[in-house]
């Protein structure tokens, strides 16, 4: 009982992480891949925030009469990690825009087809 409910946050982290991972691997659309990556990263944010919680600890703001505070350090770390995650998504989306401009598609299968075709043409061109 306590194993399941007591670690509720961590179960959520595992579910989110695996969902994100699955989307990254299984989906062939580049945008969906990026969404999966974001979910994957978000799960780690929850992981960090959960571990900062101290039993019966209060919000880490100095108040008279409160002795026990939760650990604020993981929250601060995660602020930085969120910025990193946003930057990653931004770079990824920018790349997808440029891939779409260059190939006219964001589906991995079509991109592969085009690449293979281009590769064959180049090899063929060399043999002439």
Partner 1 sequence: MNIFQQLPLIVVILPLLAAPLCVLLGRGSAAHAVAVVVTGINVLAALALLEQVSATGTVRYFFGGWPPPWGIEYRIDLLGGYVLLLVTGVTAMVVSAAGRSVAKEIPASRSCYFYSLVMLATAGFCGIIVAGDAFNLFVFLEISSLASYALISMGQDRRALRAAFQYLIIGSIGATFILIGIGFLFMMTGTLNMQDLADKLPAVAQSRAVRTGFAFLTLGIGLKLAIFPLHMWLPNAYCYAPSVVSALLSATATKVSVYVLLRFSIGVFGIDFSLRQLPLDQLLLVLGCSGVLFASWMAVFENNVKRMLAYSSVAQLGYMVLALGLASAAGITATILHLFNHGLMKAALFLAVAGVVYRIGGNELQDFSGLGRAMPWTMAAFLVAACSLIGVPLTVGFVSKWYLLSSALEQGQWLVVVVIVVGSLLALIYMWKVLEVIYFRKPETEQGHIHEAPLSMLLPLWVLVLANIYFGIDTQLTVGVAEQAAQSLLGGRP
Nearer to partner 1, 64 or 80 (CB): 80
Give the separation between CA 24 and CA 39, rounded to whole angstroms.
10
Give the separation between CA 107 and CA 56, rounded to whole angstroms.
49
Give the separation between CA 4 and CA 53, rounded to whole angstroms.
17
Distances (CA, A) of 84 to 19, 89, 97, 106: 20, 9, 20, 24
Nearer to partner 1, 51 or 66 (CB): 51
Task: Tell me how far, at minimum, the Cβ of 64 lies from partner 1, in Å.
Answer: 24
Task: Tell me how far, at minimum, the Cβ of 3 lies from partner 1, in Å.
Answer: 13
Task: Tell me how far, at minimum, the Cβ of 78 lies from partner 1, in Å.
Answer: 9
Nearer to partner 1, 55 or 64 (CB): 55
Task: Tell me how far, at minimum, the Cβ of 111 lies from partner 1, in Å.
Answer: 6
Binding site for partner 1 (CB under 8 A): 21, 24, 30, 33, 37, 40-41, 44, 47-48, 51, 71, 73-74, 77, 80-81, 84, 87-88, 91-92, 95-96, 98-99, 102-103, 111, 115, 118, 126
Give the separation between CA 104 and CA 110, rounded to whole angstroms.
9
Give the separation between CA 94 and CA 100, rounded to whole angstroms.
10
């Amino acid at each position: 009982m306590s194993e399941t409910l007591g670690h509720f946050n961590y179960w959520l982290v595992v579910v989110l992480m695996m969902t994100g991972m699955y989307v990254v691997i299984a989906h062939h659309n580049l945008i969906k891949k990026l969404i999966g990556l974001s979910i994957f990263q978000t799960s780690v944010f929850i992981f960090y925030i959960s571990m900062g919680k101290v039993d019966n600890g209060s919000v880490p703001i100095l108040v008279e009469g409160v002795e026990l505070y939760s650990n604020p350090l993981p929250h601060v770390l995660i602020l930085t990690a969120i910025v990193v995650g946003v930057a990653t998504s931004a770079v990824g989306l920018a790349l997808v825009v440029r891939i779409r401009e260059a190939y006219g598609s964001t589906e991995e299968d079509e991109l592969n087809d085009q690449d293979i075709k281009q590769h064959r043409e180049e090899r063929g061109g060399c043999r002439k």
